[in-house]
């Protein structure tokens, strides 16, 4: 990543919120279009009734479209000369209280793993879900904690604004699940949850100093949630018992903490601010 080209002076080099919205809409349109093409080309490999019902269905129905979307985002980031600023050290570090965010996410992952009925999943299905998690972690974190955060910071917004807007946009991106026929109540739960989760991912990036920590935790969250609940974007409250009940409690705490964190975040980056600065 040290061989990236210098940042270019063009339409995107002077970011604004509306330009960020345009970029996200373009990404979603591209991702949905790729999904349509993939679903037609590999229709015989995808179980439309249960997209996580087989390894091939997970790969072609879920992982491949978002993986291609992630590659497109990487190409865009490289062409803009933003690889180092996105994947390098954070220009502003976090305070110790921010560790609550990643700790809650790790607790949910552990609870989901403990509550998984492993006998109901084959090795191929588990590996395919891990591949899906890797694609989701990279693509969604690159879009919302990488590009979105960079653009909002470059527009000289406060870190509170950066955290809230990037997390809100991340949550609203999941409204596209309505297009796949997902129940509105499930989509609403997903949007609320992903806002809190997005705030925790922002705090993870701040307190660890790198987006890679958020990518890894995000990449583990999706597959472990699916393994535990048995479905895609299924509310853990629908099967709350034992370890899954703990996961439900942690999920609620995660959302509450995400909201509380809004009032605790301080600071603003500047062009000459050192990467070790705290706020």
**Residue 123: Cβ within 10 Å count:** 8
Give tens-digit pLDDT for 17-53: 999 999 999 999 999 999 999 999 999 999 988 899 9
Q: What is the pTM of this model?
A: 0.90
Q: Does the pLDDT at position 272 exceed 60?
A: no
Give tens-digit pLDDT for 71-125: 999 999 999 999 999 999 999 989 999 999 999 999 999 999 998 989 999 999 9
Q: Does the pLDDT at position 234 exceed 60?
A: no
Q: Can you give the pLDDT at residue 184?
A: 86
Q: Which of the four pLDDT bands, split at 50, 70 and 90, describes residue 158? A: very high
Q: How far apart are the first and last CA of the chain?
A: 27
The sign of the torsion formed by the CA atoms of 137, 37, 190, 74 equals positive
What span, in angstroms and rounded, lies between the C-alpha atoms of 277 and 279? 7
What span, in angstroms and rounded, lies between the C-alpha atoms of 122 and 213? 28
Over residues 236-247, the mean pLDDT reads: 61
Mean pLDDT of the chain: 90
Query: Residue 162: which residues within 8 A CB-CB, separation 6 or more?
Result: 149, 152, 153, 202
Q: Work out the widest C-alpha separation in the chain, in whole angstroms.
A: 55
Q: Can you give the pLDDT at residue 40?
A: 96
Q: Which of the four pLDDT bands, split at 50, 70 and 90, describes residue 242? A: low
Q: Does the pLDDT at position 1 exceed 80?
A: no
Q: Which of the four pLDDT bands, split at 50, 70 and 90, describes residue 237? A: very low
The SS3 of residue 117 is: coil
Strand-pairing partners, residue 278, are 93
Q: Does the pLDDT at position 205 exceed 50?
A: yes
Q: Report the phi/psi class of residue 81: left, alpha or beta, with left for phi > 0 and alpha for psi in -120 to 50.
A: left
Q: Which of the four pLDDT bands, split at 50, 70 and 90, describes residue 233? A: low
Over residues 135-164, the mean pLDDT reads: 97
Over residues 58-64, the mean pLDDT reads: 96
The SS3 of residue 66 is: helix
Query: Judging by beta carbons within 10 Å of its beta carbon (0-12, 13-18, 19+), is residue 253 exposed, middle or buried?
Result: middle
Q: Does the pLDDT at position 274 exceed 60?
A: no
Q: Does the pLDDT at position 7 exceed 80?
A: no
Q: Does the pLDDT at position 276 exceed 80?
A: no
With beta carbons less than 8 A apart as the criterion, state whether 236 and 229 touch: yes
Q: Can you give the pLDDT at residue 182?
A: 80
């Amino acid at each position: 990543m040290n061989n990236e080209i210098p940042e270019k002076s063009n339409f995107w080099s002077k970011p604004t919120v509306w330009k960020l919205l345009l970029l996200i809409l373009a990404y979603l349109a591209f991702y949905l279009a790729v999904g349509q093409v993939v679903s037609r080309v590999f229709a015989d490999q995808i179980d439309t009734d249960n997209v996580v019902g087989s390894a091939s269905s997970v790969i072609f129905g879920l992982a491949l479209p978002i993986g291609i979307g992630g590659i497109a985002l990487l190409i865009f980031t490289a062409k803009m000369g933003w690889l180092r600023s996105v994947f390098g050290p954070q220009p502003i570090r976090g305070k110790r209280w921010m560790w609550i965010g990643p700790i809650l996410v790790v607790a949910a992952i552990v609870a989901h793993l403990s509550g998984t009925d492993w006998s109901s999943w084959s090795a191929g299905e588990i590996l395919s879900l891990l591949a899906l998690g890797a694609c989701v972690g990279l693509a969604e974190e690159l879009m919302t904690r990488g590009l979105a955060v960079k653009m909002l910071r470059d527009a000289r917004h406060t870190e509170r604004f950066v955290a809230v807007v990037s997390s809100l946009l991340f949550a609203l991106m999941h409204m596209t699940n309505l297009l796949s026929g997902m129940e509105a109540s499930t989509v609403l739960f997903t949007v609320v949850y992903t806002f809190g989760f997005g705030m925790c991912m922002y705090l993870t990036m701040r307190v660890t100093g790198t987006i890679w920590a958020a990518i890894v935790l995000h990449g583990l969250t999706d597959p472990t949630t699916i393994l535990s609940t048995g479905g895609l974007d299924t509310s853990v409250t629908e099967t709350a018992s034992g370890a899954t009940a703990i996961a439900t409690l942690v999920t609620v705490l995660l959302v509450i903490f995400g909201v509380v964190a809004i009032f605790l975040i301080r600071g603003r980056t500047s062009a000459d601010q050192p990467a070790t600065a705290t706020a």
